[in-house]
């Protein structure tokens, strides 16, 4: 096994609806990054269908991995290690990536590294900063991982090569991206809702509808695992705003308009933002913009509160929702006011990809922290 070499790692990611493979050298040079998105397959259902996701991963995994190797100018033999997402995610989807990575590792006699998907999102930021030559981050780092499945705040520290994480906040119900997707579905917009709401919001007045900012007055009584040292918490909650949008739709009699839009859009094979925009009256665009503003302000306020509490001078904002334009603008503005440096991945590395998995695997490669051959998918894996 070639563990003394330069650290050319093939990453594989299949935790949700993207089949992805990438080759990254030493956690800092992305040689290739291939993402096969299943969005068109799940679109008609308005959400990810787990069985379809597994089937599509099975179809896509071999060509996606081959393309990642070819784009990187690598061969199976030239790799130093393989890395794969162990969890969290959909069990059947994760198992496709894991089984394939195990077979490759066994056949090639190369080490295999199991990576937490959430740690991957954090390393997407690190990968790109290192690639730009930025090796001097101030610690501790507060990392907000905000996606369709997660809204987590971590206090992250680096000692030598190894990283440790402490969860200081998470959503008590819906993830922020899930709220974007559910509200988009409710309003007769396409799937996934986040990118569309992002674009449509630019045409609406974000101050038009006043939503109460999400409040959490009590400790999470369902979570017995939290010790005193895990306090204070910076938890989130986004199911209330989704209900508030539903109530707004009902009290303002928007159901007929939504139904008409749904029918109109279903007759267009690939509706554009302009199609959606012209199917939305101004009051609906205002509603969309106000919904987005409420979520963005809550994410920014709690993350900055956490950074003040832990005296962190550096913020990472990553995961699918980190692609949101207004979220980026607000974070930049508010962090600047507090003298905090905020880093985002590029938009293509904000959403799920395998470059982040290969990058997160590098410190483990150096530590020879390899996965045993009997490791399996962990759909609810936590990050520590
Ligand atoms: O990280 P990701 O690709 O998958 C998960 O790990 O969940 O995130 C996907 C989520 C979806 O909920 C999608 O609607 C949201 O990220 N998203 C966005 C934007 N782009 C993707 N949300 C808001 N604004 C965006 N521009
Ligand atoms: Zn993700």
In DSSP terms, 116 is beta-bridged to: 87
381 pocket-lining for ligand 1 (C-beta < 6 Å): no
Q: How far is the CA of 324 from the centre of ligand 1 (A)?
A: 8
Residue 319 Rama label (left phi>0; alpha psi -120 to 50; beta)? left
Pick the atom of ligand 1 nearest to 121's CA.
1
- Residue 270 CA to residue 135 CA, distance in Å, equals 43
How many other C-beta atoms can be found within 10 angstroms of the C-beta atom of residue 124? 30
Q: Quote the tokens at residue 355.
A: 């470059």
Q: Tell me what pLDDT residue 46 has.
A: 84
Q: How many CA atoms lie within 13 A of 289 on its CB side?
A: 19
Q: How far is the CA of 263 from the centre of ligand 2 (A)?
A: 31
CA-nearest of 138, 139, 98, 136 to 117 is 98
pLDDT digits (tens, 9 = 90+) for 260-307: 999 999 999 889 999 999 999 999 999 999 999 999 999 999 999 999
Query: Can you give the pLDDT at residue 4?
Result: 47
Span from the CA of 177 to the centroid of ligand 1 (angstroms)? 5
- Identify the pLDDT of residue 137: 87
Token output for 296: 């963005």
Q: Is 375 in a helix, a strand, or coil?
A: coil
Query: What are the backbone dihedrals phi and psi of residue 160, each rounded to the nearest 5 degrees, phi first?
Result: 55, -125
pLDDT in tens, 157-169: 988 778 899 999 9
**Token code pair at residue 17:** 């609806």
DSSP state of 171: B
Taking residue 378's Cβ as centre, other Cβ atoms within 10 Å add up to 17
* Model confidence pLDDT, tens digit, residues 346-384: 999 999 999 999 999 999 999 999 999 999 999 999 998
What does pLDDT average to over the chain?
Answer: 94
CB 285 within 8 A of CB 278: no
- How are beta strands 18-25 and 29-37 bridged, if at all? antiparallel
Region of 46 (left: φ > 0; alpha: ψ -120 to 50; beta: rest) is: left
């Amino acid at each position: 096994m070639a563990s003394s070499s330069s650290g050319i790692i093939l990453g594989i990611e299949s935790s949700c609806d993207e089949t992805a493979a990438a080759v990254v050298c030493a956690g800092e040079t992305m040689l290739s990054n291939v993402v096969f998105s299943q969005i068109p397959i799940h679109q008609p259902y308005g959400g990810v269908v787990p069985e379809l996701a597994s089937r599509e991963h099975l179809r896509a995994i071999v060509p996606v991995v081959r393309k990642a190797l070819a784009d990187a100018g690598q061969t199976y033999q030239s790799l130093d290690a393989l890395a794969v997402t162990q969890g969290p995610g959909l069990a059947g989807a994760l198992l496709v990536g894991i089984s394939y990575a195990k077979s490759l590792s066994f056949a090639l006699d190369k080490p295999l590294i199991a990576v937490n998907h959430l740690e991957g999102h954090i390393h997407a930021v690190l990968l790109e900063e290192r690639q730009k030559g930025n090796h001097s981050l101030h610690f501790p780092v507060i990392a907000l991982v905000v996606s369709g499945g997660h809204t987590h705040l971590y206090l992250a520290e680096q000692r030598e090569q190894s990283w440790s994480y402490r969860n200081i906040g998470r959503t008590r119900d819906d993830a922020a991206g899930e709220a974007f997707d559910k509200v988009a579905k409710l309003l007769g917009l396409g799937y996934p809702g986040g990118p569309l709401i992002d674009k449509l919001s630019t045409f609406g007045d974000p101050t038009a509808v006043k939503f109460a900012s999400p409040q959490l007055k009590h400790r999470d009584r369902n979570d017995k695992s939290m010790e005193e040292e895990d306090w204070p918490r910076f938890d989130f909650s986004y199911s209330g705003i989704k209900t508030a949008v539903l109530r707004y739709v009902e009290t303002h009699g928007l159901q007929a308009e939504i139904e008409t839009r749904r029918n109109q859009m279903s007759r267009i094979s690939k509706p554009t933002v302009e199609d959606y925009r012209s199917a939305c009256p101004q009051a609906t665009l205002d509603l969309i913009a106000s919904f987005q503003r409420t979520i963005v302000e809550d994410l920014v306020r709690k993350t900055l509160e956490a950074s003040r509490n832990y005296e962190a001078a550096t913020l990472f904002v990553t995961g699918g929702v980190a692609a949101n334009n207004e979220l980026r603008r607000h974070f930049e503005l508010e962090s600047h006011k507090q003298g905090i440096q905020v880093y985002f991945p590029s938009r293509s590395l904000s959403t799920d990809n395998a470059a982040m998995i290969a990058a997160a695997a590098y410190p483990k490669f150096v530590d020879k922290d390899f996965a045993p051959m009997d490791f399996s998918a962990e759909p609810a894996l936590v990050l520590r």
